[in-house]
Amino acid sequence: MKEIVKREGLEWIKAFALGMIIFIFIRIFFFSNYVVEGESMLPTLEDGNKVVVNKLGYETENLERFDVIVFHANEDEDFVKRVIGLPGDKVEYREDRLFINGKKVEEPFLDQYRNQSPVGYLTGDFTLQDLTGAESVPEGKLFVLGDNRLGSWDSRQFGFISEKQVVGKVNLRYWQLEEMDVSF
C-alpha cells in the first residue's frame, strides 16, 4: 500500500512540475504582462494599468492601424503606443484630424479626450516630411503615437520604430478590475 501511495505522490509531483514548465514556457514565449507607466496613453490606458501582450499570435505584417503595441524603446525601456502609420503610409495632421494617404481617418478612441480637453487641438499640425524628412513610412518601420497627444513622447519626437522592436500587441487590460477591457 505504501508503494502505491508513494508512486501516486511521485506522479502528482511530475504532473505539477510538467505543468509549471508548460506555464513558464507559455509565459516566456507567448504572452507577457506589462504595467503601464505614465500618462501617454490616456484615456485608453492609465498609469498602473496591467496589460497582457500577445508576443506570438501576431506577425508585424498583420499589425493594423490603431493596434496598441508594446515595443523596445531602448535596452532598458519598453513603451506602449498606438500604431498610426504602416509601411507606405503618408501621415499628416491638419486641424486636429488625421489624414492617411490624403484621406481623413477617424480616431474614435480620442473622442472622450477631445470632449474633456479645455485646450484647442490635441494633435498639432504636421506631415511626416516635417518630422522625419520622409514622405511615407519606410518598409519595416511604423509610426506610433500615444493617445494623450499633448503629453506623449512618441514618433513625433523619436521618429519611426522598427518592426523588429515590437514585442507584441496589447490584447487585454486586466487591472484595475473595473477597467478590464479586450477592445483596443
Q: Which residue has the higher pLDDT, 120 or 65?
A: 65
Give the mean pLDDT of 37-56: 85
The domain segmentation of the chain, as residue ranges, is 33-178
β-pairing, 68-72 vs 78-85, is antiparallel
Give which of 88, 84, 100, 178 is closest to 138, Cα–Cα.
88
d(CA 11, CA 173): 37
Q: Which CATH superfamily is domain 33-178 in?
A: Umud Fragment, subunit A (2.10.109.10)
d(CA 39, CA 152): 7
Give the mean pLDDT of 24-47: 76
Residue 60 clears pLDDT 80, i.e. is over it: no
> Residue 162: what pLDDT?
95
> Residue 177: what pLDDT?
47
Residue 63 clears pLDDT 70, i.e. is over it: yes
Give whichever of 18-32, 115-129, 142-156 has the largest mean pLDDT: 142-156
Q: Which residues are known catalytic residues? A: 40, 81
pTM: 0.79
Give the mean pLDDT of 1-6: 61
Residue 4 clears pLDDT 90, i.e. is over it: no
Give the mean pLDDT of 21-49: 76
> Residue 118: what pLDDT?
65
Residue 86 clears pLDDT 90, i.e. is over it: yes
- Give me the chain's average pLDDT, please: 83
> Residue 16: what pLDDT?
74
Query: Which cell numbers hold the place of 63?
Result: 499589425
